[in-house]
Chains A and B, each alone.
Chain A
Amino acid sequence: MDRNFLTRVTAYFLVTVAAVVFLTPSAATWLGKDDKLPKWMQKMQRIQLGLDLQGGLHLVYEVQVDKAVSDKADRMASDLEDKLRKQAVTQVRAERFGKDEIVLQFKNAADAAKVNREFLRDFKNRLYEDSRDAAKFEVKLKVDSDYVDEQRDYAVRQGKETIENRVNKLGVAEPNVFRKGNDIVVELPGLKPDDFERVKNLIGRTAQLEFKMLDDGSEYMKKIAAAVSSKKAEFPGIEVGHDGWAEKESGQGHSDVYLRAKDRAELERFFASLTGDDLLPTDHEIGYEQTQSRDDDEDEDNKKSAVAKERYWRTYYLHRRAELTGEYITDAETTWDQQTGRPEVSISFDHEGANLFEKASGSNIGRKMAIILDEKINSAPVIEGRIGGGHARITLGGMGDPFQMQQEAKDLVAVLRTGALPAPLKKTFETQVGPTLGRDAVDKAKFSMIVGSLAVILFMLLYYRVSGLIANIAMSLNILYQLAILALLPGGGTLTLPGIAGVVLTVGMAVDANIIVYERIREELRAGKSARGAVEAGFGRAFWTIFDAHVTNLVAGIVLYSFGTGPIRGFAVTLMIGIVANLFTSVWLSRAMFDFYVGRRSSSAHLSI
């Protein structure tokens, strides 16, 4: 055995040890023994199981870029009306048509003439005059096409970032968000089915935050309280509640009447059923809050029994106009209420928002301000004084276990921080796979593959004896190397069902490569060559056959990877890895084993093949 041979064997040995090391973390994860890994291994990359194998959620959203453009056009139309109004033009209607056309309809020629170059300077690079119908007093404006493209691209980029930020805050392992044209792909392998709805809602959530003032002590609510008793038969679940608090500084008392019920829908139906004088004034609206009896409840009975704490919905009679909206938020974070220890979300406003907030709080001291998130009142604290500095806090519902509340706080921070989506999303593709389904498929696949592999191993042993054993060792090492390379791919490779198909194909090719070599060696032996000579010739002649067959498949793999999508790519990745591993094991590694096997025997001895 020469030195060259020893170096080769050492190299193969080191490669094998490295492969085992790289695969250990993945194997430990699959067996659920992650905690038993040594520390330095814990952080190593693992092979991810694809959605089809472990369950999870796969979503593709199309960013409706045209909606982003038409929204901008809508706003410009409103701005145009405002600007015209400032120039004393009241008889005008600005309306968007299509996605990028705004038509200004005037009542007379003089007003229409006011829309000129000078007037449109404010909308430079955004709008230009398309045409003018003097007879109809109509001016048609168009949104600049560069501006349109810019807005579209911005919408997709911003949408991707927003989704990415939201998803990253979910606490799901290995989320994957990427852009594909105007589409955004979200992959969440391993997500539990119970979380599907929550996650989908979070991704699609608009995150509309509003601050509105409560109109306490109103005549309207007193009138409505009377209406409740007359409609008792129709709405048995609705009760009238009274609320009272005192201003801290002046001590002036406030009182309010509200309605409450277990079911929000019942309250909504009640207000919808009102007619005539009872109809809700148009400058007001009803807000709903889900709450529960607290320790500071006036009702003594509720205070005593902690068990009786029940959740219910209550109404707030609000001024429709929002004092402030979420558009002014710059940051949000989870904090803890010092007194109750409950999680809460603290938000910061930008300069303009801080000014608005200060003004609103200053002129409404002693009143309640409702914080409304996505049409639901989050809380309605009493304003105790002018609030400067641009900070506000949102306390969480107050029910549920601490873990759930914390989760809720985190989700809320995620959506508030990332802001509203710039354009609506349209879901074009959705796959939900429960882990049980994935598990079932994996188990069956595993079983069938084990049976198949055992049959091949047995066959090779019977047919080729010692050489068959060598082939089997090479094949096992081949699979080991393939998986190790997969684990080493940037970000950890993902194994999917089509990926397994790729492995099956390459293992088939590995077996084939061995058979090609062995049949060649047999031919050489029949021709009367010595064992050593036959091995030499067999490997030498078979090499180019195996090489060509593998390279053609590699070419196919590269093309499929570059042009394919999803499952086709998964197939291409394992195919390419497998081909490289195959060439290594079936050409060089099994050759080394043969050299070892043949080298120890006399030249006249028979080869067990």
Chain B
Amino acid sequence: MAKQTFFELIKPNHNFEFIGRMRLLLGISLVLVIISIGMLPLNHFLPSRGHTLNYSIDFRGGTELQIAFDKPQDPALVRATMSDGGYPGTDVVSMKDAIHPNTFLLRFGAVSPLSKQKADLLHKALQTKLGEDAVRKFEFSDGGDKIYIRFNKAVETEAIVGVLNDAGVKNNAVQRFGRPEDNTYEVILVGLDVEVKRTLEAKLGAGSVVAIPSVESVGAKAGAELRDDGIKSMLFAILCIMVYIAVRFDFRYGPGTVAALLHDAILVMGAFAVTYREFSLTTIAAILTVIGYSMNDTIVVFDRIRENATRLRDKKFDRIVNISINETLSRTILTSATVFFVTLAMNVWGTGVIRDFAFAMNVGVIVGTYSSIFVAAPILIWLNERFFKTTGKPTKTRSSSANKAIA
């Protein structure tokens, strides 16, 4: 039978030296990890950045709204108008939008149309206008969208509206709350989007705001909760993976896999820190995808190492690792290349969140492939030498024997 030939990117029987260059490449990895982590405080102190990562409001708390104008606007003017209108430190980012050409993304800290300071002023105004002891209780929690005011006597709602208007809190509904004899009134504050539109139109002219396609508000507490949930679930997932690998392979393989995926997660985060792209919940999803991918990659390589370790007992363990990496190299490159090009297409043609996701994947595929060979494998070799000093025969051979049974 004639020997069959294939369409191949990498010829078989190649033997590239990976393990010998381990030190150098591990060093590069270490440097990249240090840069990634070091970028965080650096970003914090860079005047143009100011935050460790470009956190979206998912984590920071605040409001993010897209706003479309009828004609091109100067971002600086928009920023100044917002600042004068009681929204200091507003980020104004121009964005591409097919439907509305003059769209900006505004991001600011307020989640409520009323700030605590303004509420305090309002409380004082009510006391001066309606009498010092007329106001029995004034309840407003920061970030809320309602105010509760209890009076010692019946008060005209019009009078309350009047005081509100004078204090610059306009277009709000005031209504009685609870039993009439409680004299409690509820002020329902108008939506933040309405308030922002009013603020901007006052300066830029009525009708200048065409549309507000999306608004997202996250209270500071909810933001912290989202972040903690995300971190907690990620850490627990890593722990469970380690346990699974310890059971399926043996415990030498666990730390390498986990180190590789931590390495990948840190470098992807680092890429977001260096480029200062928005870091949102979607980015967390992207990092999870990268972790999943990296784990898949590492396990494929480790599986081959485990298999070869039983087959080639006469060889040194680091040689076995090098052979295994070479044997799986063709697959590694093919898989990485396909995933890379799919996500590259998403990066080039996608928008917004998709693009950020694809960017994370592009970085993740590269570091994920690299880390299986240059992070996970060296740790495996080191652990083997440190604790076993054997040829690397796994203590558990259940799956290997299963392989044989099928083959």
Which residues does A use to contact B, with CB under 8 Å? 52, 60, 62, 64, 67, 71, 74-75, 78, 193, 197, 200-201, 204, 206, 208, 210, 268, 271-272, 280, 282, 285-286, 320-322, 325, 327, 374-375, 424-434, 436-437, 440-441, 444-445, 447-449, 451-453, 455-456, 459, 462-465, 497-498, 501-502, 504-505, 508-509, 511-512, 515-516, 519, 522-523, 525-526, 528, 536-537, 539-541, 543-545, 548-549, 551-553, 555-556, 558-560, 562-568, 570-571, 575, 604, 606-607, 609
Contacts and interface: CB of A to CB of B under 8 A. Distances in A.
Contact of A272 (B158, B225, B241, B402): B158
Contact of A556 (B6, B154, B159, B237): B237
Given A271-B158, A540-B407, A553 B348 contact: no
- Which among B148, B346, B403 has the highest number of chain A CB atoms within 10 Å? B346
Given A519-B330, A565-B229, A568-B230, A548 B349 contact: no
Interface string B277-307: 0000110111011011101100110011001
A74 B136 CA distance: 11
A543 B293 CA distance: 18
B86 interface: no
A556 B232 CA distance: 12
Interface of B: 1, 3-4, 6-7, 12, 66, 97-99, 111, 139, 141, 143-146, 148, 150, 153-154, 156-159, 161-162, 173-182, 186, 188, 191, 193-194, 211, 213-219, 221-222, 225-226, 229-230, 232-234, 236-237, 240-241, 244-245, 248-249, 281-282, 284-286, 288-289, 291-293, 295-296, 299-300, 303-304, 307, 327-328, 330-331, 334-335, 338-339, 341-346, 348-354, 357-358, 361, 399, 402-403, 406-407
A509 B146 contact: no
Given A374-B173, A511-B335, A556-B295, 6 more contacts: A325-B179, A426-B145, A427-B219, A539-B406, A541-B407, A568-B284
A544 B176 CA distance: 68
A497 B353 contact: yes
A206 B146 CA distance: 11
Given A537-B407, A571-B285, A444 B350 contact: yes
A512 B158 contact: no
Contacts of B245: 552
Nearest to B103: A437
Contact of B236 (A456, A522, A540, A559): A559
B176 A437 contact: no
Contacts of B191: 197, 200
Given A429-B218, A501-B289, A519-B331, A451 B213 contact: no
B175 A567 contact: no
Given A375-B157, A428-B143, A449 B346 contact: yes
B178 A567 contact: no
Contacts of A607: 4
Contacts of A201: 188
Contacts of B66: 437
A428 B178 CA distance: 23
Given A455-B341, A551-B244, A426 B99 contact: no
A431 B345 contact: no
B240 A555 contact: yes
B219 A536 contact: no
Contacts of A540: 403, 406-407
B251 to A, nearest CB: 15
Contacts of B342: 449, 452-453, 455-456, 504, 508
Main secondary structure of the interface of B (DSSP, over half): helix
Contacts of A606: 4
A463 B7 CA distance: 6
Contacts of B236: 559, 563
B248 A548 contact: yes
Contacts of A52: 353
A519 B324 CA distance: 13
B335 to A, nearest CB: 4
A556 B334 CA distance: 25
Contacts of B352: 441
A128 B242 CA distance: 54
Given A60-B222, A462-B7, A563-B236, A549 B295 contact: yes
Contacts of A511: 335, 338-339
A498 B181 CA distance: 51
